[in-house]
Amino acid sequence: MALDPFYPIFDSADWLERLLPLGIKLVQLRIKDSDEQALRAEIRRARDLCARYRCQLIVNDYWRLAIEEGCDFIHLGQEDLDVADLKAIAEAGLKLGISSHDEAELDRALAANPDYIALGPIYPTILKKMKWEQQGLERLTAWKARIGDIPLVAIGGMSVERAPGAFAAGADIVSVVTDITLNADPEARVTEWIAATRGHMR
């Protein structure tokens, strides 16, 4: 199944409850600093909301909880890969998205046979401190040439206005956090995102 080209990331099921009814079809639940009980409850709620709205849920980091709660898609970064049991993940039938920031990380991501590869930060991000400078659009083109048919996700500093440039450079999917969550009107911004990305399904 092709992944939707609009891939917002939220840090709570509350966000999903608020914004999935607008037509989001691909979403990541990315929670940091929470205990296992609370995490499990959020993953369950997100799973049920996504089922109701026919949206593909991707659980960030917590692959064991994702398996236990019957989710089918996770995202792992390179540090997550250091400790994840990829065999257990594959045996559970989970799909896998992987972050990359340089050539060595791309090689490692490709070796894991992922369902998408993310490259970031394309532009500077205010969400988290990163050791990489902005990658720029040219890097997306280079990544797409390397990964072929594997969907390429552009992340980091993305906005509605920047999305067309990322698609033109080779991204299949654009992922975004603060352009929505810090917007004065997140609902209106999501509607703009859906309009701007519709039609980019490859």
Interface residues with ligand LCLJCK34 (CB under 6 A) are 28, 30, 60-61, 75, 77, 80, 97, 99, 118, 120, 128, 153, 155, 175
Q: CA torsion 162→165→170→175, rounded to 10°?
A: 10
> How far apart (Å, rounded) are the C-alpha atoms in residues 150 and 119?
12
Do residues 160 and 189 make contact, with C-beta atoms less than 8 angstroms apart? Answer: yes
Binding site for ligand 3NM (CB under 6 A): 99, 120-121, 125, 127-128, 155-158, 176-179
Is 77 a binder of Mg ion (CB under 5 A)?
yes
Three-state secondary structure call for residue 42: helix
* Binds Mg ion by CB under 5 A, chosen from 80, 127, 134, 191: 80
The H or E element containing residue 75 is strand 73-76
Closer to ligand LCLJCK34 by CB, 5 or 97: give it: 97
State both tokens at 80: 């997550």
| In the complex, minimum distance from the CB of residue 30 to Mg ion, in angstroms, rounded to a whole number | 8
Do residues 46 and 24 make contact, with C-beta atoms less than 8 angstroms apart? Answer: no
Is 64 a binder of Mg ion (CB under 5 A)?
no
Three-state secondary structure call for residue 55: coil
The crossing angle, in degrees rounded to 10, of helices 137-147 and 103-111 is: 30
153 binds, among ligand LCLJCK34, ligand 3NM, Mg ion, none (CB under 5 to 8 A by kind): ligand LCLJCK34
Give the footprint of Mg ion on this chain (CB under 5 A): 61, 77, 80
- Write out the binding residues: 28-32, 60-61, 80, 99, 128, 157, 177-178
Which residue ranges are tagged as binding site for Mg(2+)? 61, 80
